[in-house]
Amino acid sequence: MSTAAVVAPGHEDADLATPSLARRTLRVFTGNKLALTGVIVLVLLLAFCYLGPLIHPTDQVHTDLSRANLPPGSPGHLLGTTDLGYDLLGRLMTAGRSSLEVGLAAGLLATLFGTVWGAVSGYFGGWTDAVMMRVTDAVLAIPAMFLLVVVAAIITPSEGVLVMIIAAVAWLSPARLVRGEALALRDREYVQAMRMMGGGGVRAVFRHIVPNAIGTVIVNCTFQIADAILYVSYLAFLGLSVPPPATDWGSMLSAGITYTQNGYWWLIFPPGIAIVLVVGAFNFIGDGLRDAFEVRLQKK
């Protein structure tokens, strides 16, 4: 008698469906040239910011005014120097770490909180949904930049503070998106079956609602990170950035604008290009993920 394990009906299809779905998702994503370009650009920027200082170490703490505003190509300074004598190439690396760390942390925190808020609101409905959505609408009514500037002006900025401030205004979008998904998912058969077996609301939210809305969450997360990096630049441009000697790309851009009339273009273009590249990369990746999670495209 054969000792082969007996596979329950339908299990073979389930085992084959998951790899097939993953392959279709990956195929759609890799078929998007802009998304692949975004991934390559992001990897290169991360390597530039985190591995670059190992290849090109510089002093980004002590100023040297005798070397201030040296043009690109000066001995030992490929991209020139800043108004305080910092090597501009090394400054870009240091600033990039701050911008990326704050942007990534704020985007992830905003997505996490917004996902839980929206899932709870949409699943429970009734007065719970009404109260939670009115809170969301009230915060949405306040212009984000106004709120960011007011809070950042009151509290001394630091990386941790900037993460909390940006996340405090960025969670609204994922909350509304996930609420819409929860409203559609809470009446599905598997959720009803879970209720019939005595499952509670916490299990429904974290085992059924959130996992089945993961496509929307992941796509929105990429856009949240891109927006958070822009918020960091906005605040830094207004003078509300991490305290020196730390810096970010927005602070570098703000400092460079001061010397526009002097023709010191190298103080403006490098940080500006870096901001455009990283924000564009995350947006391209988000577009690619949106197409990859789109069921209609996967079935083609």
Output the pLDDT for position 297: 46
Sign of the alpha-carbon torsion through 217, 220, 226, 231: negative
Structure tokens at 9: 């009906």
Structure tokens at 141: 């009514």
What is this structure's pTM?
Answer: 0.83
Sign of the alpha-carbon torsion through 42, 44, 48, 54: positive
Output the pLDDT for position 199: 72
3 state SS of 176: helix
CB 70, CB 64: distance < 8 Å: no
Output the pLDDT for position 169: 86
Residues paired with residue 161 on neighbouring β-strands, in sequence order: none
Output the pLDDT for position 96: 92
d(CA 31, CA 21): 15
- Packing angle of the helix pair 88-124, 249-257 (nearest 10 deg): 130
d(CA 88, CA 270): 9
Output the pLDDT for position 15: 42
Output the pLDDT for position 295: 53
Burial of 201 (0-12, 13-18, 19+ CB in 10 A): middle
Asked whether the bond before 72 is cis by omega within 30 degrees of 0, the reply is no
Output the pLDDT for position 76: 83
Output the pLDDT for position 14: 40
Instruction: Give the residue from 81, 121, 48 showing the smallest Cα distance to 281.
Output: 48
Output the pLDDT for position 157: 76
Parts of the chain with a pLDDT under 50:
1-17, 296-297, 300
Burial of 299 (0-12, 13-18, 19+ CB in 10 A): exposed
Output the pLDDT for position 299: 53
CB 195, CB 185: distance < 8 Å: no
